[in-house]
Structures are given as structure tokens and as C-alpha cells.
Structure 1
Amino acid sequence: MTSAPVQPQDTPQEVATETLYIQNLNEKIKIDVMKQSLRGLFKSYGEVLDVVAHGNLRMRGQAFVSFASADIAKKAQKEVNRFPLYSKPMQISFARTRSDAVVKQLEAENYEKHKAARLEHKKATRYTNPLKKKFRAKRMAAEMDGAAAAPAPKRPAVQMPDEYLPPNKILFLQNLPESVSKDQLMALFSQYPNLHEVRLIPTKRDIAFVEYMDEASATVAKEALHNYKLDGENKIKITFARK
């Protein structure tokens, strides 16, 4: 399994490295989908060597994206920082240490030494790092409180807003020009691989459904075309369809 570089909190003065440290990611998005979305978003700046993200409690909402050079990472950080990925503005800084992928690509002869040093650091700080100790204490307290608490009363069902629906292979399009045709939408969305079907609603011309062969392909198309001005004026709103 790919390991993330070590990232201490609050760097006093950032130094550009090949790896970006990303925070404030939408935790409702599946890890595989998030990694693919990040790769698709950053590949326009240069080769993406690796994307690291984990679903465990400590690493939730965070990821590392590694490039072949610090210059590429610096340009990507400057232009993408605060970009609202899945409706949450990303907070992007530079990782303090070099990732495994970067060392393996650029300094293969030092890879084993780098890996051994990283594992030793992880072992040495597992029980002494004050941030980790604080995290474990909070988690244990939360578990104890949860075990002791009485069952919470049921809340009334509230429909989740479209923007926060979990990814799937069908996209829901809104705010379409009423003159839009199926052929126009086919031409627009077929730019992205694995398009399966476009469905217009005869009685409501400003909405449509676009289905891809898989969830990942739909995610890439959604990220690329959300807010696209099909008629040069109105922005298309694209969300995942409700299941």
C-alpha cells in the first residue's frame, strides 16, 4: 500500500516540494472516486506520480498528490488552492517530506534507505507524537461517551441537497436551454469516455440525465462540465442523480 509522506501541522514558512498536502476534502466521497478526481484535476499541470488518500479516521478529508518536480507542484498549488472540489474549497500546502513515489522516480538508488527511515520515524512517533496521543484520547472519550449515552431520538428525514449526493454513474443536468437537443448533449458528453446514454425529459426541457458505463467516468465528466455555458449564457448545473 502506498504510504503518505509525513505532514506535521502548521509550517511556519512553506518550502515548495514535489508533493502537495490537501485538506478539507469532502469526506462523503468514496476514496477511489476522490483519488481519481484529484488525478484528473491535477494531470493538466504535469505527470502525477501518485495520489495518496485513506479512509481511516485520522486521515479523513486529506490527501497527498505527488508530481515529478517542485515547480509543477508550485504552479498547481497556486492555481488550484481553494478550488471547490465536490462543493468544498481545498486547502493546499506543500508536504514536509518527499513521498515514496517521488523518491522512487527521481532517486531510485536512495529508495530503500528513504523507506526504512520513514518506517523508523513512524515507529518512533507512534506513541510519543502529542498530536497522535491527543487524537487517540479524543477517540477513546468519544467511544466511551457513545457507549454510555442513551439512544438518541430519531430525527425527521431530511432530503439531502443535490450537491451532496454520493457519486454514481448517472448525472442529473439542470438549467438547460429549452432548445437543447439530444445530439447536442451527446456531442458534449461524448468527449469523455464510456458514455452510455443521454435521456431528455419531453415534458421538462430544462433537465436531462446522462449515463456513463461506470461511476469514475461520470465523475470525470461532471467535474469537467459543471457550470459549462451550453448556450453562451446559462450555466449547466450537474449533480449525481438520486438513486
Structure 2
Amino acid sequence: MEDIAAPPVPVDPTAQAAPQAPAEPEFISETLYIQNLNEKIKIDVLKTSLRGLFKSYGEVLDVVAHDNLRMRGQAFVSFADPETAKKAMKEVKGFPLYSKPMQISFARTRSDAVVKKLDPENYDKHKAAREEHKKATRYTNPLKRKFRAKRMAAEMDGAGAAPVSKRPNVQMPDEYLPPNKILFLQNLPESVSKDQLMALFSQYPNLYEVRLIPTKKDIAFVEYMDEGSATVAKDALHNYKLDGENKIKITFARK
């Protein structure tokens, strides 16, 4: 006996599809929250590097970073408008600043600098609310308690440290020197020419001069008009293989 197919279910032509919930608008902010920063870099150097890196996208209102245990490896970069912040995040996300790829998201609250510029009438109110929140969470936030305990332990461990005057005079490694508009290049191929270096470093704005050392061909100095421009070039070209084999080492020149 043949199977008889079930008749198709009639469709009401007047019926309408169930309405779908509208998609939530994308959250964007004027301030970027940056994580996974190199904790070994001094805070003033880190802030200068971040400002130099992001200022090519628009006006940077503020860069906030702290060296306390809770905030180490993190920073906030504020722009004058959210669209600029969005473009900067899209293009810089994952950039290896000091050899660590940056993790970037939008900050959930407005920074002081943003409120002061865009909503000055409510600045005092905004700042007072932030201070109240800070006080309210100071002793209840478990992460803050944890970091506070670590800090106290570190201070106790350091209580018996030798006086500063008796500590050995250790020269700061090249990698941690403060920003300078002059870059120091090492490990260059001995066949490198001034024109090659000019072509390489002129990709970045405000190049001023390239100086080779006749008696030592594997090093050179590259000078920019300002520290921010030098920082961007340094971060982009450090470990670049000029001859396809050897990586160029680029640091700030000692002042």
C-alpha cells in the first residue's frame, strides 16, 4: 500500500512574522581602556608613548596610567569624540607596544578630561560622584583588598632595604630610557647607507636627520622633530629586518 503524503498546512496570507527585538546599539565611548601593557616600562615613558601613538588619529585629551598594583599594565586614552576613539581602537588593537599586543575596549565611564571639555557645567558633579564611588568601594572591593595587602607586604619587605646613598649605581638599560627625539640604532648591516635609512624612517612624520658613524658602521642616530614622532617610529621599526636577516635594535638615545 502506497504511503499517502500529508496535505500541506495552509498558510494565512494575512499572517505576519513575529517581530524581532531591535538590535542593541553598539556601545562606544570617547575613552579607550587599554590592557596587557608592559609593566616594566616606567609610567611617564608609557604615557608619552601612548600619546605619541594615538595622537595621529585626533586630539588626545588625556592619558591616565598608574604604577600601583591594581592599575599596573592598564591605561586610559581619552579623545574629544567617540568616533575618533572607535577608529583608533580598530587600527591600533593588537599593536605590540613594547613587545606586548595591546588589548583595547571602550571605557564604561567618561574620564575627567572628557567631561571637563564636553560638559563643563557638570564637571564638579561628575568629579564628586567619582570620589564618592571610590570611597564606597575602597574597603569592599575584594580586588582592592587583595592589592592593598600585596602593597603592604611589599612595603614591609622593603623596610630593611639599603639606603639610597649606599645602593650600587646601576645604569638604566637602553630599553627603559626615557623618551627622546633622537633614536639610537644598533645591529645595522655594515653595508647600510644613509639613503636607505632615510627612506625607511621617512615613512613616519617629522623626520629631521639621519647620522651614520663612519668608524662604526653598525650603529646610527635618527632624529625627529619631537619625542612623540620618534616614539611612533621606534615602536614600528624596532626589530625590523633591514637586510632580511638581522633585526635592528632601536632605543631612545641617552640624554
* TM-score, with length taken from structure 2: 0.67
Pairing 1:239–2:246 present = no
Contact 1:174 1:237 (C-alpha < 8 Å) held by counterparts: yes
Q: Conserved in 2, the CA contact under 8 Å of 1:18 and 1:70?
A: yes
Matched, 1:62 2:74: yes
Q: 1:49 aligns with which of 55, 61, 81?
A: 61
- What does residue 84 of structure 2 align with? 72
Alignment of 1:171 onto 2:210: no
Unaligned residue ranges in structure 1 (runs of 5+):
1-13, 149-159
* 1:1-243 alignment runs, 5 A limit: 15-143=27-155, 164-167=175-178, 169=180, 171-174=183-186, 176=188, 178-182=190-194, 185=197, 198-202=211-215, 205-210=217-222, 218-226=230-238, 237-240=248-251
What is the CA–CA distance in structure 2 between the aligned matches of 1:38 and 1:60, rounded to whole Å? Answer: 15
Is the CA contact (8 Å cut-off) linking 1:19 and 1:99 kept in structure 2? yes
Are the equivalent residues in 2 in contact too, given 1:186–1:198 (CA < 8 A)? no
Aligned residues: 218
Consecutive unaligned residues in structure 2, runs of 5 or more = 1-25, 161-171
User: 2: distance between equivalents of 1:175 and 1:145?
Assistant: 40
Flag the 1:189–1:178 CA change in 2: closer, same or farther, 3 A.
same
Q: Secondary structure at the match of 2:78?
A: strand
Residues 29/142 of structure 1: CA separation in 2 closer, same or farther (3 Å cut): closer
Q: Distance in 1 between matches of 2:129 and 2:179?
A: 40
**Alpha-carbon distance change, 175 to 234 in structure 1, aligned in 2, over 3 angstroms:** farther
Answer with 1 or 2: which has the greater Rg: 2
CA contact (8 A) 2:61 2:79 kept: yes
Query: How far off is 1:209 after superposition?
Result: 3.6
Decide whether aligned partners of structure 1 residues 114 and 23 sit closer, same or farther in structure 2, where only a CA change above 3 A counts. same
Task: Classify 1:220/1:45 alpha carbon distance in 2 versus 1 (closer, same or farther; 3 Å).
Answer: closer
Contact 1:173/1:239, CA 8 A, preserved across alignment: yes
State the one-letter code of the partner of 1:136: R
1:182 maps to a residue whose letter is K
Change (3 A) 1:216 1:15: closer
Distance 1:216 1:79 in 2: 18
- 1:84 is matched by which residue type in structure 2? P
Coordinate RMSD, CA, aligned: 3.7
Partner Cα distance (2:208, 2:45) in 1: 17
**1:195 Cα deviation (Å)?**
5.1
SS of equivalent to 1:223:
helix
1:207: Cα distance to partner?
A: 3.6
SS for the counterpart of 1:66 is strand
